[in-house]
């Protein structure tokens, strides 16, 4: 009787061991093979899709207020800051803006970019520094700031129909100069009406700085 109990106990232990092995193997397989590559990341979750957010303000870091990114999208004030920092442009004259006080974080950058003619005030005398910029608007401004041009007419490089629009030339000429590489490739949708993200803005500027 005792022998039978010992055999039963050993059998239960063997079954438990085998089941445990199956569970561990399943977890390793689910981890995408990381274990077999010598990295014991069995229970580590995949990086969040937006893990890049903590680095998006690399070009905005000169302003302490931007150490924490509170928006994924670029405002008119931030665009001024990005482009002034990128190019080192200077400008002394500054018009009065009803909505840009002297202590506004991007005030000097806004003055500089307006003085150079790359962004302008609205007819009611305001700059709207916190308004989000869309991709077509940003392409137009960057086309001017980086003085891009191409010697002949360029057919549409992107799958969405952006021919015969006010921004067509700017988008295609930046595209042919590889300004959007890493963000939007030829044959993909450019999405001109979409809000410009900080991630895309940094990619575009990095590409254009390298020209």
Q: What is the pLDDT along the chain (211 residues), one digit of tens a residue?
A: 544 544 455 555 544 555 555 444 444 444 444 333 333 222 233 333 333 333 334 444 444 333 334 469 999 999 999 999 999 999 877 777 889 998 999 999 999 999 999 999 998 889 999 999 999 999 999 999 999 977 777 888 899 878 889 999 999 999 999 999 999 999 999 999 999 999 999 999 999 999 9
Question: 37-57 as b/e, with b when 16 or more CB fall inside 10 Å?
Answer: eeeeeeeeeeeeeeeeeeebb
Nearest to 182 by CA among 155, 148, 207: 207
Rounded-to-integer distance, Cα 165 and Cα 178, Å: 20
Q: Quick one: tokens of 14?
A: 């063997």
């Amino acid at each position: 009787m005792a022998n039978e109990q010992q055999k039963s106990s050993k059998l239960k232990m063997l079954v438990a061991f085998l089941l445990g092995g199956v569970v561990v193997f399943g977890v390793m397989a689910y981890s995408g093979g990381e274990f077999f590559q010598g990295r014991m990341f069995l229970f580590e979750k995949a990086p969040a899709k937006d893990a890049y957010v903590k680095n998006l303000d690399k070009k905005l870091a000169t302003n302490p207020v931007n150490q924490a990114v509170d928006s994924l999208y670029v405002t008119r004030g931030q665009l001024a800051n990005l482009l002034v920092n990128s190019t080192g442009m200077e400008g002394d004259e500054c018009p009065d803006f009803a909505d840009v006080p002297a202590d506004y974080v991007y005030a000097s950058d806004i003055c500089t970019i307006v003085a150079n003619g790359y962004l302008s005030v609205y007819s009611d005398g305001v700059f709207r520094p916190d308004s989000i910029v869309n991709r077509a608007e940003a392409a137009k401004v960057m086309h001017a700031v980086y003085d891009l041009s191409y010697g002949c007419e360029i057919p549409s490089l992107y799958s969405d129909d952006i021919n015969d629009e006010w921004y067509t030339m700017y988008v295609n000429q930046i595209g042919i100069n590889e300004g959007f590489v890493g963000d939007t490739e030829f044959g993909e949708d450019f999405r001109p009406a979409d809000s410009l993200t900080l991630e895309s803005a940094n990619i575009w500027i990095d590409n254009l700085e390298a020209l």
